[in-house]
Amino acid sequence: MASNNKPPVAGIRVPPPQLRAFVADLFSRVDMPPDRCAEMADYLVRSDLRCVFSHGTSQAPGYARAMREGRINPAPEISVIEDSAAATVVDGDGSLGYFACHEAMKITIRKALTTGTAAATTTNHHHFGAAGTWSRCALESDCIGLAVSSNRFVPNPERSVLDAVTWGPFSIAVPAGEQPPFVFDGGGFDLPYSEERFGEAPSPFFKGFGVNVAVTILGGLLAGIYRQELMESREGWQSNQGAFVAVFNVSHFMRVDDFKAEMDRYINDVGKTIPLPGSDEAVLPGGLEHRWQLENKRDGIPVSERHRERLEEAAEEFGVKAPFDGCQPFG
């Protein structure tokens, strides 16, 4: 996980509704419609609840500034531009990628419940947030979700082939029974390169490069973000990103209860193994975030001093009320 994607040792506890109200108010100041403001507030607070702070409410000020500067469309008309039995293409109309990906996952889940598997690409949008926001959408329908994203770029001929990728995010979410779902949610594989490291152990570089290329292709090329009309956008939106999402209906492969029992057994077995250095327990990706989410819903989201400062600065800049009244310190 990113270095800041864990509970801070000190700060204040903020009730989720207060953060949602703040984010919605912030986006309302840059001409985002009320329903979209509420959506964005929910998405960003969801990430904070899981302590994925890198993609939570701390992103809101930057998004709002980009909309104010005319780089992101605050009031998009999301549209389906290609549609078939198991595939969909969604156009984000130059907005943040959250809205297109929400529509894509909603449609893809509905299709997968009938077809067993379905996929979608999204195009013509900006940042889509944490990939796990979208893979996790499938869990409530007892499905496996996958999400990747990429941004438009041209490889630099003066740099290594290992840099001919975008290091886009990748996430897969798998339901379980009594145990927390498996949720891998991370950025691209960016290994510190040196000729010495490569000579001693080239395999991790080849594997990481391969995964990064796959994400670049699925979330970028297949999503159509290099279409000429997008690269010469008349509206001026910074719509240089795309995404690929897929949903796999567990019931089309085996009984859902049997699969969840298998997941629980596997997660329990993993918990009996030796933890990684610096960890108190052996858990699969998503286990800690699930626990933090439950705690933070109950006790309030832990906001560090730096996180608080960023939101207070944004509150002053955009003329909205900061969300920290009555919040209790900890640490």
pLDDT band at 17 (very low <50, low <70, confident <90, very high): very high
Same domain, 127 and 60: no
User: 87 and 65: one domain?
Assistant: no
Starting from the edge strand earliest in sequence, which strands make up the sheet with 328-330, in order?
301-303, 11-14, 328-330
CATH number for the domain spanning 48: value is: 1.10.1530.10
Residue 40 belongs to a domain: yes
Who has greater pLDDT, 194 or 110? 110
Answer yes or no: do 120 and 220 share one domain: yes
Number of domains, the chain: 2
Q: Is 253 a residue whose pLDDT tops 80? A: yes
Predicted pLDDT at 287: 97
Both 150 and 210 in one domain: the answer is yes
Instruction: Give me the pLDDT at residue 209, please.
Output: 87
Shared-domain flag, residues 111 and 175: yes
| 279, part of any domain | no
- The share of the chain scoring above pLDDT 70, in percent, equals 97
Encode pLDDT of 259-309 as tens digits: 999 999 999 999 999 999 988 999 999 999 999 999 999 999 999 999 999
> Rounded CA gap, 93 and 236, in Å?
11
With respect to residue 244, please indicate whether it lies within any of the assigned structural domains: yes
- Of the listed ranges 12-16, 117-121, 311-315, 324-328, the one predicted with least confidence: 324-328
Residue 289: inside a domain: no
Q: Which domain holds residue 252?
A: 79-271
d(CA 9, CA 144): 34
Q: Are strands 87-95 and 241-249 parallel, antiparallel or unpaired?
A: unpaired
| Phi/psi-derived region of residue 288, left when phi > 0, alpha when psi is between -120 and 50, beta in every other case | alpha
CATH at 223: 3.30.1370.60
Q: What is the pLDDT of residue 277?
A: 92
- Domain annotation covers residue 20: yes
Beta strand ranges found along 110-158 (DSSP E): 117-125, 143-151
Task: Scan for tokens 């984000």, then name that residue.
Answer: 92
> Does residue 232 fall inside a structural domain?
yes
238 band by pLDDT with thresholds 50, 70 and 90? confident
Confidence class for position 1, pLDDT limits 50, 70, 90: very low
Pair (47, 92) in one structural domain: no
